[in-house]
Structure 1
Amino acid sequence: MQMKALLFDFDGTLLDTNELIIQTFMHVLEERFPGQYSPKDCIKFIGPSLKETFEQITPNEVDEMIEKYRQWNHEHHDELITEFDGVLPTLEKLKEQGVRMAIVSTKRRDTIKKGLELMGATSFFEFLIGIDDVNHVKPHPEPVLLAIEKLGVAKEDVMMIGDNYHDIEAGKNAGVKTAGVAWSIKGEEFLKQYQPNYILQHMTDLLQIVKES
């Protein structure tokens, strides 16, 4: 009996947007706080929602900073993203095997769609859940529970996959299996602290995990 459904985070899991995110943060923060942030400092902002991040950095200018971030990010999106190795062929095989798939992200749906279209991966996913679909973002279980409800499958047949602790915690909080990806910019050891059921060394690992689960 194989696993029936896989929920994927998007940024840093299926699409390598790390360079795009870091450069976007550097652009908006350098303008506001010249010389105070380095690209390395920006790694910790990968994962949380923009609201969460800017509430910590500029609590009185959250909306303004998010708008600046989104504008620069949108303008430079296509030139700064790359695909992770093996993602598309693996998604294709999973789809052929009848595994159901959806995206659960803290990004806006229009931005996720843009990335999926560029990758040529739109057809693999039944639906997307973005920040505009929920009241609480990961690590809260709401986005994962919403995805399970839409799929109409049992929790034990579902796995949440991501590159950050938000993904693993959200999966655990929702009562599903979890997998971290070793290509996370935060590193495999960082993810292991959160005790996911699996760590994927390569996207193709999923093919075996799905069969055995």
Structure 2
Amino acid sequence: MKKYLLFDHDGVLVDTELWYYRAGERALADIGVALDKDRYLRDMSQGVGTWAQARAAGVDEPTIDRQRAVRNDYYQEYLRTEAIEIEGVVETLAELSKHARMAIVTTAKRVDFDLIHAERQIKQFMDFVLVREDYQLAKPHPEPYLTGLQRFGAAKEEALVVEDSSRGLNSAVAAGIDCAIVHNEFTKAHDFAQASYRIERLSELTDILRAT
């Protein structure tokens, strides 16, 4: 039986994936580089992201470092001003909390995570949160989810990861944990062949828990 849920954050609990891409797109546009979305999505699955395209275009590292800070500012601007709620998340988490213990395992930086959740009700259902600063190797490496298991003191068979990207799925698979992929329009073209479950919305997790 699945007793523990390990949630990814961006694209699963809040609708931020697009805005992170837009922030990078805007930061590269500032220096005359166009960010190709299809390549970004492919790079994203490997944990590479925006700056591979900048390097391929011949941008030097000092400029990349400067524009990374600019990207972060743009992203935080979007977090403050754009609608990033996913309908029904809080209600679903309240229901799921009756059946399993829950935590968030995210590649988001602490400053962004804290900004997102300053006035939201999601964290109240979580035993703990692991942000990027809480582990050494990011997804698709298994360390983030193995760290989550260790914090819970849980066996791999007792846990279920909830993700929306192939990078996160690969992290879960490498950690030996079953993974449910929730639909996200931004990442829908990723390869999810290794997923244990495919769901349209988080509320479907209740049936999965009951069936395991």
TM, length-normalised to structure 2: 0.86
Displacement, 1:13?
1.2
Displacement, 1:44?
4.8
The one-letter code of the counterpart of 1:69 is R
Please give the per-residue CA displacement for 1:162-206, whole angstroms capped at 9, x wherever unaligned: 11111111111111111111224121x63433x200011111110
Please give the per-residue CA displacement for 1:77-99, whole angstroms capped at 9, x wherever unaligned: 121242223211110111133x1
Q: Go from structure 1 to structure 2 and tell me whether the alpha carbon gap of 1:23 and 1:53 turns closer, same or farther (over 3 Å shift).
A: closer
Q: Go from structure 1 to structure 2 and tell me whether the alpha carbon gap of 1:162 and 1:186 turns closer, same or farther (over 3 Å shift).
A: same
Which residue of the partner structure matches residue 77 of structure 2?
75
Aligned residues between the structures? 207
Which residue of the partner structure matches residue 160 of structure 1?
161
CA distance in structure 2 between the aligned counterparts of 1:10 and 1:81, rounded to whole angstroms:
16
Give SS of 1:180's match: strand
Q: Go from structure 1 to structure 2 and tell me whether the alpha carbon gap of 1:40 and 1:52 turns closer, same or farther (over 3 Å shift).
A: closer
Identity %: 25
The one-letter code of the counterpart of 2:167 is H
Which residue of the partner structure matches residue 190 of structure 1?
190
Please give the per-residue CA displacement for 1:11-52, whole angstroms capped at 9, x wherever unaligned: 111111134223212210110125x33666655565665x75
Q: Which runs of 5+ in 2 are unaligned?
A: none
Q: Which runs of 5+ in 1 are unaligned?
A: none
Give SS of 2:184's match: coil
Q: How do 1:81-100 residues align onto structure 2 when only pairs under 5 Å count?
A: 81-97=83-99, 99-100=100-101
Give SS of 1:185's match: helix
TM, length-normalised to structure 1: 0.86
Which residue of the partner structure matches residue 23 of structure 2?
24
Give SS of 2:186's match: coil
Which residue of the partner structure matches residue 149 of structure 2?
148
Q: Go from structure 1 to structure 2 and tell me whether the alpha carbon gap of 1:45 and 1:92 turns closer, same or farther (over 3 Å shift).
A: farther
Q: Is the 8 A contact 2:43 2:49 kept in 1?
A: no
Q: Is the 8 A contact 2:15 2:85 kept in 1?
A: yes
Q: How do 1:84-123 residues align onto structure 2 when only pairs under 5 Å count?
A: 84-97=86-99, 99-123=100-124
1:37 aligns with 2:35: yes
Q: How do 1:58-73 residues align onto structure 2 when only pairs under 5 Å count?
A: 58=55, 60-61=61-62, 62-73=64-75
The one-letter code of the counterpart of 1:60 is E
Displacement, 1:134?
1.5
Q: Go from structure 1 to structure 2 and tell me whether the alpha carbon gap of 1:53 and 1:27 turns closer, same or farther (over 3 Å shift).
A: closer
